[in-house]
Structure 1
Amino acid sequence: MNKPILFLVLPLFIAALTLQCNNPKKPDQPLPPGDRNNGGLLLPGGFEAVVVVDSIGRARHLAVNDNGDIYVKLTYNELLHSHGGTVGLRDLDNDGKADILAYFGDYKDEGGLPAGMSIHDGYLYTSTVRYVLRNKLIPGQLLPDSKPEIIFTDTDSGLFRHWHSQKPLAFDNEGHMYIPFGAPDDGGQDMKTAGPAGMPGGKGLDPSPDLEWHAGIWQFDAAKTGQTQKDGIKYATGIRSVLGIAWNPADNSLYAVMNGMDNFHTRYPAIFTPWQAAVLPGEPLLKVTKNSNFGWPYAYYDQMQEKNILQPAYGGDGKTIGRAASFDKPLMAFPGHWAPMDLLFYQGNQFPERYKQGAFVAFHGSTDRSPYPQAGYIVCFVPFANGKPTGKWEVFADGFTGVDTVVNTSDAVYRPMGLAEGPDGSLYICESNKGKIWRVMFKGDKHSFGDAQLAGMEGRKSRTYIKTPDEIKDNMGKGGEMAGHILYGSYCVSCHQRDGKGDNNRYPPLVNSDWVTGDHNRLIGVLLHGLQGEIKVNGKTFNGIMPAHGAFLDDHAIASILTYVERSFNKQNTPVLSEEVTRVRNATVR
C-alpha cells in the first residue's frame, strides 16, 4: 500500500463509537485511477484495477454497502489470534484504497472453511460453519453497534459435519433466504467405513441417506431468528457442494455453481484414466427451481458428452446414462475441479451492456488434477442471451497464479474466492491466500467494446491452468496428494494409523522416519514389493510384515501415496514421480 492504514482491532462497542464519521464518498464521484499494472491482474481492454488492500487475512466472501464500505468474511482473524472474524474497510479519499481496516466479530468458526457474506434489507449477514448471523447496518457508520442476531443454527452433529458444510447465502425478492447443505461425502459411500473421501471401487448406498438433510438447497425466512434446518423447506436436491449461489433479478430465479466429485481414476482405475479424472466431471452451472433434482450421488455431468452420466458407484462405466436421464440437466459446465467459489449476476451500468446480461464466476482452483497441472484460478464471465447462458465462458480476470504452471495448489500466489458489486458498478474480487482485494473498473468506450477488447483474454485460454490438458504432453508424472490421501486411508491406515505414527508395537511410524525422508527408491521398493524382518525406526526395533502393493496399485497410485506421506507427515515438498516408481518396478521385477 502507498499510504498508511488505520488498523482497528477493538471490542465491538468501542469500534462502533470510533467510526461514526460519515463516509465522504458520493455516487457521482469519478472513478479512481487504476494501479500501473492493475495490481497484477490481466483484464479485457478498457478495464483497470486498483488494489483496495493487500493482506487482510484469509478472505472468503465479501459484500459492498451502498456507500462503498466493504465487508469481508475471514477464515480466521489472524490479528485476533485465530478468532473468527469479519473486517470492515473504508476508503476516505476516493483513491480506491482502504484507509480504515476494522476487525470485528467475537465468534469462532469451529473448524471447516466458512463462506457467506451478504448485505440484504439493511442488514449484514455473515455465515460461519455453524451459524448464519446478522447485524443492522447504521447509515454512515462502518461497524454495527449491536450484538448479532442468530438467524440460523446448524444442529447437525454427524460424523463428518464439516465436510461441505459452508453456508453461502442468496436472497429472493419475497423475504426468503437460500442456504446450500453440502453432501457429507464425495460420492454417496458409507462414511463410517469409507470416510468422507470414499474408497477405491466402493459402492454407493442406495437409496442414499445423505439426501434427506444434505446435498441440496433449503429455503428459509430471511428475517426470522432461531431457525434450524427443520424450519426450512427443501427447495432442491441432488447437489453435491455449492459455494457460489445467487438470485438473478433478470428472471427472478436462483442459480448455483456446483463443485463436482473428485478422483475418478483413484477410485475407478478400470473405468477412468488419469486424464479423464483430471477433466471430469464438469463443474455445472445450475438454474435451481423448486423441487429440481440434479442427480448427486447417482449421476454426474460430463461436459464433453453434455450429458448426465450414471456414477460408477451405482453401476456406471463412464458412458451409460441409465437412471441419470431422469435428473435435471445443468445449463452448462466448466472444466472439472476448477472449484467455483462465487457467482455474481452483474446489475450495474459502469461495464459495457453485454456484462449486464451475464454472470461472473470466481474459481479457487483445483487440488486433485495430478499428474496434470492444476487448473482454474481465474474469474470467468458467462454471457447470457435470451435469459440463458450461451455456453461459451470467457476469461475475465487472470494473473492470480503468478506462475505459468501450477504443479501443486500451493504454487498459486493468489486464489480467487469472493465477488461483489459496488454501488457504482465496480466489481470487487478477493482471494483467500493473503486477503488481497481488487476493484475492477471500466474506463473505455462502452459502445465500441467487443471482440477486439476480448481477444487478449481469449488467448489466455492456452495457459496450462486454463486449457484442456493434452493427455500425453501435459502429463507431468507427479504423484497427487489428494489421491494419495484416499489411497492411504484404504491401504495404509490400519497399520500406520491415520496420523502416521504407527501402533507403537508392530508397525513403525512414518512421521520423522528416515525410511520416508531418505532415498525415494528404497521407500518405493518397500511399497511395491513389501518388507519382512526386523527394521529400526527412530531408535526402536519393529518386526512386522509390510505386504506388497505393486500387484494391484499402478505407478501413479504408488507415487500418490508416497507424495501424501512425505507432505502430510514429514513436510517434504518434492513429489514422488510416477517415472521413479516405473524405474524401480522395472529394475526390481521379482
Structure 2
Amino acid sequence: MKFNSSAFYIKIISGESWSIFTFSFLICIIFSQCTANLPIGDEDNGGLFLPEGFEALVVVDSLEGRARHLAVKDNGDIYVKLRFPDSVGGNAALRDTDNDGKADIIETFGDYLDKSSYGTAMRIHNNYLYFSSVTRIFRQKLTDKLVPDSEMELIVRDTQPPRQHDTKPIAFDKKGNLYTPFGAPSDACQVDDRVFMSPGMDPCPILEHRGGIWKFDANKKGQLQKDGEKFATGLRSVVALEWNDQADNLFTVVHGRDHMHNTWPEQFTVWEGAMLPSEVFLKLEEGSDAGWPYYYYDQMKEDYFLSPEYGGDGKKQGEKVNTLERPLVGFPGHFAPNDLLFYTGDQFPERYKNGAFMAFHGSTSRAPYPQAGYFVAFVPMENGTPSGSWEVFADGFAGVDTILNTSDAKHRPMGLAMGPDGSIYISDSVKGKIWRVMYKGDKEGFGKAQLAKMDERKKQAPNIKTPDEVKDIVATEADGFFPKEGNMAEGARLYNSHCALCHQKNGRGNDRFPPLNYSDWVIGDKEKLIDVILNGLEGEIMVRGKSYNNVMPKLDHLKNEEIALILTYIRQNFGNRSSGINPDEVAKVRKATAK
C-alpha cells in the first residue's frame, strides 16, 4: 500500500471535515493496528455467546419501529430498514460521534407510500442507499450528511398489493444488475391454501409471475416486473439474498413451506412436521429451479422428495428430482433464514474470509418441540463452495434456553452487515437492538479450541439441536398433539391441535400471525369470527394497530361442536372475557355462507 503522508496531513491541517471514526480507521489501516482501535466490548457481550476471542457491544438498545436489514457506510454510519415505520419515515440513520461504538445520533427518514411491516432491504451500492417496502425498491444518493437529502428514486415496483411472502431483499452483481424475489402467495400452491389435505394445482399457475428471483437494471427508474428477467424459480419465500463476488454468483437461503404434519397427518409425523422441510442454502445460476411447490428437501435424507400435495409421502421422489438445484447446505426446518453476508473483511481470523454468515430469525411452527433458530450461523467457504460444516457463530438472542412461544424470545436476529473495519453488525426485529461483533484475539492461533464451546451449543442448545423425537417434547398430551389425556379442556386441546401452530400456545401470535388476546376479531362480532374459521381469511388486516398479511386457512372440515369449543376457548382465555359460542351458532353461519 502506498501512502502519501504529506497529503494526509495537509487534509487534516486544512480543516476538512473528518469524523473521529474516519480518522481512527485510517490510522488503523496505515499502521495495521485495527484491533487496538476497536471500541471496548460490553462486559456481557450484549447477552451474546460468541467464539473465543470475539467481543460484542450494543450499538443501540432499541429503535422505534424495530429493525429489518441494515447497511454500514464507509465512515461507520449505520442505515436500518424499520419494520413498523411511523409517519416520519421507514428508515433510521445512526452515527457514533465519539468512537465508543454506541450510536449517539439517531434520525429517521424515508417517508414513502406502501410502508408495510415486511419492508426488508437496506443495502449500499455504488454510493447509493437502496431500501424497500414489500412491493417497491427505492434508492437515494448518499451525501456527506447522515440523512441523505438527495432525490428518492423508485427503481422497481410491483403492480399487485402486498400478500404473504412479499419481501424485497436485494443483491447486486458486477454488471449493473439488481436481483430481488417475488414471493409465492401460498404455502404449497394448494387449491385451498393451507387447508387440510388440499391438493396442489398442477401445473402451479403461481410460478409464472411469483415464486422466483427476477433480474433488473440497478440504475433504471420506474421498472415493473415485466421489465425484468426471470432468473430462478421454485423459491417460495426468500428474505436472505446476496451476491458473492469471489464466486461471481447469486446465493440465497430459502424459507421452507409449513404445515406438513397439520395438513397431512397420515403422511408426516409431528416430529417430521417440526423438522421438515429443510431451509436450504443455494447457489443460483440463471435458470435454476429449487423445486417449490412440487418438491421439498430433506436434510436428514439429503435429497429432494415429492410434496404431499403432489402425491408425496416422504419416500416418493418424482421424475424431475435430478433437475433441481442441489443445496450447498440443508439446515433443519423452520429456522427462518432472514439475511446472508459473505465476509470480505480482514479483522476476523482467516478461516472466516469469504465465508457465509446467516441470520436465523427463528421458528414459529415447531410445537410440541422447542422453537428453533434465533441465532447466527457461519459456513466456511472457498470459491463459493462450503469447505466445512455449518457452525454456530452467535447465540443468546432469545434470552431464554427453551423457547415455547415465539413471543418468549427477547430478541430475534434479522439483518447482517459488515463495517469498514471488518466488524459485523446484527439487527433485531423485536426491539430494534443492534450489536457490533469484533475480534480481538490471536488471529494466527484461532482454531478448534476457540470454537469448542460453540460446537457444544450446536449439539445441546434446545433452539439449535435436532430434538429427540420423544425426550425433547415440551408439550403435554392434552396440548392436542397426542390422544387426549390429562385435565386440559377439550377446547384447549382442539386449539393447540389446530391453531397454536400459527397463533402460538399463549395466543400472542408472532411476526407473521396476529395475536388473539384483546383482538376485536376474537372478542367482537360472533358471526364474523365464525365465518373466518369456516371460510378462512386472506389479505392485509390490522390487529391492535399492527399490520398482518398472511393466510388464515378455512377449518370447515371440523364439526360444528369442535369449532364452537375452539372459539369459546379463545374468547374466554388469553385475557379475553367474552361470551361463548354454541354449535347452533356455527351451524347457522355455515349454512348462510355455504357455496
TM (norm. structure 1) is 0.79
2:394 equivalent in structure 1: 397
Counterparts of 2:444 and 2:208, CA distance in 1: 50
Question: CA-to-partner distance for each residue in 1:459-495, whole Å, 9 max, x for gaps?
Answer: 1121111111111111122436453669x9xxxxxxx
TM-fit CA distance, 1:303: 0.4
Separation in 1, partners of 2:269, 2:470 = 12
**Residue 419 (str. 1) matches residue 416 (str. 2):** yes
Q: Could you tell me which residue of structure 1 aligns to residue 202 of structure 2?
A: 206
Q: Which runs of 4+ in 1 moved over 3 A?
A: 108-112, 480-486, 497-510, 546-550, 564-567
Q: Which of residues 462, 465, 468 is equivalent to 1:464?
A: 462
Question: How many Å separate the matches in 1 of 2:431 and 2:528?
Answer: 43
Query: Are 1:341 and 1:418, in contact at CA under 8 Å, matched by a contact in 2?
Result: yes
For residues 326-366 of structure 1, the C-alpha deviation after alignment (integer angstroms, 9 at most, x for no partner) is 32221111110000000000000000011013100000000
Q: Distance in 1 between matches of 2:404 and 2:317?
A: 34
- For 2:156 and 2:412, the matched residues in 1 are separated by 29
Indicate which of 25, 47, 56 corresponds to 1:49: 56
Match of 1:547 in 2: 560
Q: Would the alpha carbon gap of residues 220 and 259 (structure 1) be closer, same or farther in structure 2, given more than 3 Å must change?
A: same
* Structure-2 change in CA distance of 1:301 and 1:391 (3 Å): farther
Distance 1:176 1:504, change over 3 A: closer
Query: What residue ranges of structure 1 are gaps of 5+ in the alignment?
Result: 1-19, 489-496, 511-526, 531-545, 551-557, 575-590
Q: Is the 8 A contact 1:375 1:406 kept in 2?
A: yes
Q: Secondary structure at the match of 1:277?
A: helix
1:104 alignment partner, one of 80, 103, 109: 109
Kindly state the Cα deviation for residue 24 of structure 1 after the two structures are TM-superposed: 2.6
1:330 is aligned to 327
Q: Secondary structure at the match of 1:125?
A: strand
- Matching residue within 317, 340, 351 for 1:343: 340
- Secondary structure of residue in 1 paired with 2:20: coil
Residue 234 of structure 2 is aligned to residue 238 of structure 1:
yes
**Residue 379 of structure 1 is aligned with which of 376, 391, 408?**
376
> What is the CA-CA distance between 1:114 and the residue it aligns to?
1.2
CA deviations over 1:493-533 (Å, ceiling 9, x no partner): xxxx97675665997999xxxxxxxxxxxxxxxx9xx9xxx
Given the alignment, which residue of 87, 95, 98 partners 2:92?
87
Are residue 476 (structure 1) and residue 474 (structure 2) matched? yes
Q: How does 1:226-265 map to 2 (within 5 A)?
A: 226-265=222-261
Q: Where does 1:113-128 land on structure 2 (aligned, <5 Å)?
A: 113-128=118-133
**2:360–2:414: 8 Å Cα contact kept in structure 1?**
yes
* Equivalent residue number for residue 81 of structure 2: 73
Matching residue of 1:130: 135
Q: What amino acid does structure 2 have at the position aligned with 1:445?
A: D
Q: Any idea what SS the aligned residue of 1:376 has?
A: coil
| Structure 1 residue aligned with 2:167 | 166
1:483 partner amino acid: L
CA RMSD, aligned part only?
2.7
**Secondary structure of 1:60's partner?**
strand
Aligned equivalents of 1:424 and 1:46: distance in 2? 17
Matched residue type, 1:334: F
Distance in 1, matches of 2:470 and 2:279, equals 24
**Equivalent residue, structure 2, for 1:539:** none
Unaligned runs of 5+ in 2: 1-15, 29-36, 480-495, 508-519, 534-554, 577-595
Counterparts of 2:212 and 2:18, CA distance in 1:
42
Say how many residue pairs are matched.
490
Contact preservation (8 Å) 1:367, 1:482? no
- CA shift, 1:109, in A, is 3.8
Q: Residue 323 of structure 1 aligns to a residue in which SS?
A: coil
Report what 2:574 is aligned to: 572
Which residue number corresponds to residue 292 of structure 1?
288
Amino acid at match of 1:255: F
Q: Which of 212, 220, 223 lines up with 1:224 in the alignment?
A: 220
1:146 pairs with one of 147, 150, 164 = 150
The answer to whether the 8 A contact 1:263-1:277 is kept is: yes
How big is each residue's C-alpha offset from its partner over 1:205-240, in whole Å with a ceiling of 9 and x where there is no partner? Answer: 000011011000000000000001000000000011
* Counterpart secondary structure, 1:247: strand
Cα deviation for residue 384 of structure 1 reads 1.5
Q: Matches of 2:528 and 2:399 in 1, distance apart? A: 47
The verdict on how the C-alpha distance between 1:188 and 1:387 changes in structure 2, with shifts beyond 3 A counting, is same
Matched, 1:308 2:304: yes
**Structure-1 residue corresponding to 2:274:** 278
Q: 1:245 to 1:179 in 2, by over 3 A?
A: same
Larger deviation: 102-111 or 161-170?
102-111
Q: Which residue number in structure 1 is paired with residue 430 of structure 2?
A: 433
Q: Is the CA contact 1:309–1:318 (under 8 Å) kept in the aligned structure 2?
A: yes
Q: By how many angstroms is 1:385 displaced?
A: 3.9
Tell me the alpha carbon deviations over residues 9-43 of structure 1, each in whole angstroms, 9 at most, x when there is no partner.
xxxxxxxxxxx975331223411111111111110
Paired position in structure 2 for 1:179: 180
Q: Distance in 2 between matches of 1:508 and 1:440?
A: 49
